[in-house]
A and B are shown apart, each in its own frame.
Chain A
């Protein structure tokens, strides 16, 4: 389906007040009360018409969550999260509360959209006004629906997959990120709302880029996103996670779990452009983006490649990782992380080498401006059986101004003497002479910074699919606005 049908379903629930589970609901909202407990989990599961086994799985995850210690933050300054003070099923407030016309939206947001080149109709959609426009945004899935299903490719929401492909979901869900992995993994497993499910059958090369552009955040259900992608033997898929819209909410928790599984000779390319609302200049508001993304290269010669452009969120805490189990498997991580004003980012990757001749490559570009802090934290772990494993890591940091910080924290653990690990790191300030040169050619200071920073990030941006690369370049420039004098 599903994207369309799912959207229709969700739109329908928007219009009707739904009291059937006996929760006391404030007049204009369709939301269970705040708090985290078994009742809420049952409510979520029932809302989704889930089979019994799924509910059991969730409830078990909740038990695990209660037993796990809360994460200890390194380098991040995070206020304690009160789990009882959160909503866990955030169907948007009734349409009444939403801006009814473009005039009611903060002109700053509109300006950002304009600069991104997002047409007016999509601006409305992003701002949650014209919900019908959402139909267009899922056209990627629906346009190619016939073509995809002819190839046996499954691309639908995870909620739907639970019903239509229970055997695949049961087999793989939680197989890469165990429920007990850490506190957020358990929390997500208990209360996840939606996300994508992809299955590429043996020998199939997915002919189009699969994407969830706009979908999740437009419906405001993305706080506990769950995505599962399985590439069967000899298959290939490239998946894009869309540029999510800035949101005007208070500090809001986004704890996603994304699992990838690549079997023999399969390849998964996963790209993200993350642009959640970063909070204002003083650091008020913004998303806490705590994402667990992990890929398992289970089969021999399999490959998983993560590319991310992280420009949004008040706090980003994210380490897309690869478990290189299959012999000759490859993991790649290409990252641009930009922090401006009061933003904090702690991001990097983990490459766990288990199989023989496994190789990994890490290219990280961190840019800090304003009073922001940007940390690369990476782990390369080569286990004793990983004969002849290889890793290359390059971390470059660029500082704009005198009040920001960049930190590089590479952990390397090698239990194998024939493996080779290379690490290079640089930190530099943006070059005043380069800026002057560009300005002498007529670029204003913001365009000059954008140009130089885009050049700095090129090695990463060129790994994005074409359609995304242009947008990402604009985003890079926009997120640094106001960073120079």
Chain B
């Protein structure tokens, strides 16, 4: 699915990712943990194609394509989804309209006709119910005056409606209350299948109790310093980054 080799990235001359390797296969869930400022969000932006990052070295293969050559919207329509750490507010644009526009952009890219209005309404309703998002909410402007947790749930709603092949969740758990955490995790688990993959960025082992990862990676200073299975997250919780990095 995704194969990152020797990735070096800088922004405004500042080196942030310094030789990162990561390989994610179909059907796998990978967790990425690491201290603040270690480059997790940067990696998610580079994968989704945000401007201004300079790729100094390395390759990224996405389903046999050179990911770095694709535009942001091409990557998205090829099934790459980023649940933002800080989702954007778009004033004047109704959430439901945004969802419809996103779905139809993808369908257009895939050469399909627009989704019928009724079919869309049904889909949105059922997905929103699963995530305990009210229909009132969907009539409001996208993310405008949403609470922190509501924004995160909105990201997951968008994800479940677009059903991506490769989803990157950047600290989706931060800001969620206990119930929301469970609901969102259930949403993610429901989407999981043998054809798609997840990269879950988090600071808290708690999330991984709900979304059981196949692999856990620890990133420090722009490199993956340790990889393991779920038990690595437990170990990290116990020892902290300092000690783990040293034993690496």
Binds A, one of B54-62, B76-84, B199-207: B76-84
**Complex Cα gap A8–B93 (Å):** 44
A115 to chain B, nearest CB (A): 13
Residues A442 and B93 in contact in the complex (CB < 8 Å), given A436-B50, A447-B101, A451-B101: no
Write out, one digit per residue, whether chain B residues 54-78 have a CB within 8 A of any chain A CB (1) or not (0): 0000000000000000011101110
Tell me whether chain A's interface is mostly helix, strand or loop, or mixed: helix
A456: chain B residues within 8 A (beta carbon): 91-92
State in angstroms the CA–CA spacing of A454 and B90 once bound together.
Answer: 10
Residues of chain B contacted by A442 (CB below 8 angstroms): 73, 76-77, 102, 105-106, 109, 162
A479 CB, min distance to chain B CBs, angstroms: 17
Are A437 and B106 in contact (CB-based, < 8 A)? no
For chain B, the bracket of interface size reads: 20 to 34
- The complex places the Cα of A432 from the Cα of B72 at a distance, in Å, of 13
Closest A residue by C-beta to B82? A440
* Bound CA span A260–B181, Å: 59
Partner of B92, one of A437, A441, A448, A454: A454
**Across the interface, do B72 and A455 meet the contact criterion of CB distance under 8 Å?**
no
Complex CA distance for A454 and B89, rounded to whole angstroms:
14
CB of B87 within 8 Å of the partner chain: yes
Rounded to whole Å, the gap between the CB of A317 and the closest CB of chain B is: 28
Q: Are A440 and B76 within 8 A (Cβ)? A: yes
List the B residue with the shortest CB-CB distance to A445: B73
Taking CB as reference atom, which chain B residue is nearest A431?
Answer: B88
Quick check: B76 and A459 within 8 Å, CB to CB? no
Cα distance, A381 to B72, chains bound together (Å): 50
Q: Is B98 an interface residue (CB 8 A)?
A: yes
Q: Given contacts A444-B105, A447-B101, are A437 and B51 in contact (CB under 8 A)?
A: no
Given contacts A440-B48, A441-B162, A443-B101, contact A455 B73 (CB under 8 A): no
A432 surroundings in chain B (CB, below 8 A): 51
User: In angstroms, how far is the closest chain A Cβ from the Cβ of B71?
Assistant: 8
Q: Whole-angstrom distance between the alpha carbons of A436 and B92 in the complex?
A: 17
Decide if B158 is an interface residue (CB 8 Å cutoff). Answer: yes
Contacts of B77 in A (CB 8 A): 442
Docked-complex contact B73 and A444, CB < 8 angstroms: yes
* Selected A-B contacts with CB under 8 Å, 14 pairs: A431-B88, A432-B51, A433-B88, A440-B48, A440-B81, A442-B109, A443-B73, A443-B102, A444-B73, A451-B90, A451-B101, A455-B91, A455-B141, A456-B91
